[in-house]
Amino acid sequence: MMNEVSRPADSVEMEVFSNRLLSITEVMAIHMMKSSFSAQIKERRDFSVGIFDAEGHLLAQGTHIPLHLGSLLGALETTLACVSIADMRDGDSYICNDPYLAGGTHLPDIAIVTPVFLEGGVVAFVANIGHHTDVGGIVPGSIAAGAKSIFEEGIRIPVVRIARDWEVDGNLLAVIAANSRLPDERALDLRVQVTVNRLGSEQTRALFERMGIVNVRAAVRDLLSYTSHRLIRHVAAVPEKRCSFESRLDDDGTGQGRPVRIVVTVWHEAGKLHVDFTGTDRQVVGAMNVSRNALKASVYYCVKTLLDPELMPNSGLFDAVTISAPPGSIVSPDYPAACGARSITCQKVARAVFGAFRGLLPAGQVIASSHDVLPVISLSGRHPGSGAYYVYAEAIGGGAGATAGHDGMDAVQVHVTNSLNMPSEVLEIEFPLLVEEYGLAIDSGGNGHYRGGLGIVRQLRVLADETVLSVRSDSHKFGADGVHGGGTGQVGALVLQRDGAVQEMSSKVDGLVLDAGTTVRFTTPGGGGFGSAKIRPVSALMLDLKNGVLTREQALRDYGDILQAAERAEF
């Protein structure tokens, strides 16, 4: 029996306070986006802002990136551990990025933490994280799947003070900038990050002044306990049993090697949700490792999505979840493992947690596995005419898992990302490539009462010699699991056609040189199905056939009985 958690003392004040905090995070986020220089922050919105209380509880966060959920916490915890509040002054700001020294998730994500003062004391903190396009390391962009240690991934920054009296430390800035291939952009964006915190701290101070610190404390208490209570209510509704699930990466990131297992067990006990990764394989040589805080963010994302999508991302949510992982595993690697290319592994962490929850959730809330990859394809080379160097890179979506009541969504990004595609017209305007097909991957959804969503096919013809292909993907070996008898989604594929020969590739390709005329066909995986294919409504099956998203051959394999029965009935 769970303990009765007290209701908010003042529900109105709490809701108004929550709106006011979110308004500040929105204003911070808009400034961050508008004032920054690098495309990663400005156009892809790969950043996050948050407000904390003086003890380091997250009160409100604004982000478009689920993988940032709670990722500011690490920076704040470390700042509080490294710097005494007594030494902080109004106008100070702290910087950090390192997964091992400062609770980071990978080096390009640089955090700035700023204390907020009222009447001479620290009453809150504001913080932001921005993804910097390049922080050094062995490849431009600082994310190399083949990096073998954190030292190959760029500059490591422990918690250090970067501003005093709102003056940014020029020496420190120079050191950081000098470690980037784009030094000017780094210096400018770091200044923007400090300015955004200054704005956030002014507004937070004004809000606290307006409400009075006593009322603020009461509202904070209400807000955090309300969030916890909401989550725990959902957790309490799940049976007290342990459910496990295993997901697999094709390999260790090199394109060879054995599959890597991620094992998770989930249970509820004494009002807490436990997520334990015991049984997960050892950390890998490449950069597919998931640091402690990236793991937390992935799990928080799953909990919010599975139990209560509207739940506010604050410490009330985090405090109700306990995460454990064996040290030295791929989801809790030992120093100095590389962890830049964590995203695909994070997707597989989400697959495992979603899978484990299937045994705990009512059927209506369960969803089959989605494609669960973050497949990045890139082609680079020189324009035949101008000789200018170009890079085409795109993260391509796939099929989502089916739910109780709906086929899985076709052609979407899932879990930790939601980035846009590149319009084919833009692709052809900017690069010497011809798009021969951009469509849904036929037959790719797992069968079921509700079928899995379809993956995407992108077929490109290379128009210039010496075009370099790189692919960082996964799920060429293991498809998306169905649920309650639903079928597995089709795996992804990468096929080259050159000189009349067809060549199937693995999910990782590093710098393969292609000639003009080569065709690259990249297919992303489909989602898993929900429920038995035997009870798929005939109308839905016939519509899929009519719409051509399912071939007759595949339909006979997956739905043979009902298809034949339906066809007999027609005659």
Partner 1 sequence: MVRIGIDVGGTFTDFMVSEADGGELSYFKTPSTPHDPSEAILTGIRTILETRGIAAGKVAYLGHGTTVATNMIIKGKGVTTGLITTRGFRDVLAIGRQTRPYLYDFHKEKPEPVVERCHRLEVSERVTASGDVLQPLDLEELGRGVESLLTDGVQAIAISFLHSYRAPEHEKEAEHYIRERWPDLYVTRSSAVLPEFREFERTSTAVLNACVGPKMAHYLDHLCADTRELGIGVEPMTIHSNGGLLPVAAAQRFPVATCLSGPAAGVIGAAIVSSLAGMPDIVTFDVGGTSTDVSLVSGGQPRFTRSRDVAGPPVRLPMVDITVIGAGGGSIAHVDASGGLKVGPRSAGAVPGPAAYGKGGDNPTLTDANIVLNRLNPVSLLDGRLPVDRDAACRTVERNLADRLGISLDEAAYGIIRIAAANMARAIRAVTVEQGHDIRKLALFAFGGGGPLHATEVAREAEIRRIIIPREPGTMCARGTLMSDISLDFSRTLLERADDDGWSVTIETLETLVRRGDAWLQTEGIAASARVFNATVNAYYVGQNHEIPVSVDLSPIPSVTAFREAFHHAHRAAYGTCFPNRQVVIVSVAVQAVGTIAKESPALLTGGKSLAEAFKERREVYLGPAGWQALNVYRRDVLAAGEMIIDPAILEEMSSTTVLLSGQTGRIDRYGNIIIDDEF
Secondary structure (DSSP) of 363-380:
GGG-B--------EEEEE
* Nearest in space to 527 (alpha carbons), one of 377, 422, 397: 397
* Nearest in space to 535 (alpha carbons), one of 569, 562, 555: 562
Pick 15 or 465: Cβ nearer partner 1: 15
Pick 152 or 407: Cβ nearer partner 1: 407
Choices 2-10, 91-99, 174-182, 506-514; region in contact with partner 1 by CB under 8 A: 2-10
Binding of residue 414 to partner 1 (CB under 8 A): yes
The strand ranges marked E within 375-429 are 376-382, 389-395
Tell me the closest approach of the beta carbon of residue 236 to partner 1, in angstroms.
11
Pick 64 or 382: Cβ nearer partner 1: 64
- Find out whether 456 and 395 touch, Cβ atoms under 8 Å: no
Which residues are CB-contacts of 180 (< 8 A; sequence separation ≥ 6)? Answer: 132, 134, 135, 136, 154, 155, 186
Tell me the closest approach of the beta carbon of residue 378 to partner 1, in angstroms.
16
Which residues from 139-198 bind partner 1, rule CB under 8 A?
188
**From 163, 295, 400, 483, residue interacting with partner 1 (rule: CB under 8 A):** 400
* Nearest in space to 418 (alpha carbons), one of 396, 401, 391, 440: 396
Which residues from 471-500 bind partner 1, rule CB under 8 A?
none
In angstroms, rounded to a whole number, what is the distance separating the alpha carbons of residues 180 and 184? 9
In angstroms, rounded to a whole number, what is the distance separating the alpha carbons of residues 459 and 433? 10
CA 286 to chain centre: 19
**From 549, 555, 562, 563, residue interacting with partner 1 (rule: CB under 8 A):** 549
Choices 78-86, 87-95, 371-379, 411-419; region in contact with partner 1 by CB under 8 A: 411-419
Tell me the closest approach of the beta carbon of residue 389 to partner 1, in angstroms.
13
Tell me the closest approach of the beta carbon of residue 13 to partner 1, in angstroms.
9
Secondary structure (DSSP) of 93-136:
EEEE--TTTS--SSTTEEEEEEEEEETTEEEEEEEEEEE-S---
3-state helix vs strand vs coil in the chain, percent to 5: 35, 25, 40
Choices 10-18, 248-256, 496-504, 555-563; region in contact with partner 1 by CB under 8 A: 10-18
Pick 42 or 156: Cβ nearer partner 1: 42
Choices 3-11, 46-54, 135-143, 144-152; region in contact with partner 1 by CB under 8 A: 3-11
**From 355, 401, 452, 482, residue interacting with partner 1 (rule: CB under 8 A):** 401
How many Cβ atoms from other residues are within 10 Å of residue 66's Cβ?
22
Tell me the closest approach of the beta carbon of residue 427 to partner 1, in angstroms.
9
Pick 328 or 384: Cβ nearer partner 1: 384
Binding of residue 459 to partner 1 (CB under 8 A): yes
How many Cβ atoms from other residues are within 10 Å of residue 1's Cβ?
5
Tell me the closest approach of the beta carbon of residue 274 to partner 1, in angstroms.
21
What are 133's two structure tokens? 């396009």
Alpha helices (runs of H) in 238-342, residue ranges in sequence order: 292-307, 315-319
172: left (phi over 0), alpha (psi -120 to 50) or beta: alpha
Length of the chain: 571
Pick 22 or 516: Cβ nearer partner 1: 22
From residue 279 to residue 318, the character string flagging contacts with partner 1 as x (rule: CB under 8 A) and all else as - is ----------------------x--xx---x---------
Count interface residues toward partner 1 (CB under 8 A): 72
Choices 95-103, 104-112, 374-382, 543-551; region in contact with partner 1 by CB under 8 A: 543-551
Pick 324 or 547: Cβ nearer partner 1: 547
- Find out whether 548 and 504 touch, Cβ atoms under 8 Å: no
Tell me the closest approach of the beta carbon of residue 508 to partner 1, in angstroms.
22
Which residues from 421-440 bind partner 1, rule CB under 8 A?
421, 423-426, 428-429, 434-440
Place of tokens 């080569």: 518
Choices 157-165, 246-254, 374-382, 417-425; region in contact with partner 1 by CB under 8 A: 417-425
Radius of gyration of the chain (CA): 25
Tell me the closest approach of the beta carbon of residue 121 to partner 1, in angstroms.
25
Binding of residue 12 to partner 1 (CB under 8 A): yes
Pick 258 or 406: Cβ nearer partner 1: 406
Tell me the closest approach of the beta carbon of residue 549 to partner 1, in angstroms.
6
* Nearest in space to 460 (alpha carbons), one of 491, 422, 420, 489: 422
* Nearest in space to 254 (alpha carbons), one of 144, 102, 363: 144
- Find out whether 284 and 252 touch, Cβ atoms under 8 Å: yes
Which residues from 219-248 bind partner 1, rule CB under 8 A?
226, 229-230, 233
In angstroms, rounded to a whole number, what is the distance separating the alpha carbons of residues 533 and 256? 35
Which residues from 317-356 bind partner 1, rule CB under 8 A?
none
Pick 16 or 178: Cβ nearer partner 1: 16
3-class SS at 193? Answer: helix
Pick 254 or 459: Cβ nearer partner 1: 459
Tell me the closest approach of the beta carbon of residue 38 to partner 1, in angstroms.
10
Q: Which residues pair with 412 in a beta bridge?
A: 398
Secondary structure (DSSP) of 461-504:
EE-SSSEEEEEE---SSSPPP-BTTPPPPPPPEEEEEETTEEEE
What are 567's two structure tokens? 């066809």
Binding of residue 410 to partner 1 (CB under 8 A): yes
Which residues from 359-378 bind partner 1, rule CB under 8 A?
365, 367, 370
Which residues from 16-75 bind partner 1, rule CB under 8 A?
16, 19-20, 22-23, 26-27, 30-31, 34-35, 37, 39, 42-43, 64, 66
**From 174, 213, 393, 420, residue interacting with partner 1 (rule: CB under 8 A):** 420
Binding of residue 397 to partner 1 (CB under 8 A): yes
**From 265, 378, 419, 519, residue interacting with partner 1 (rule: CB under 8 A):** 419
Pick 30 or 213: Cβ nearer partner 1: 30
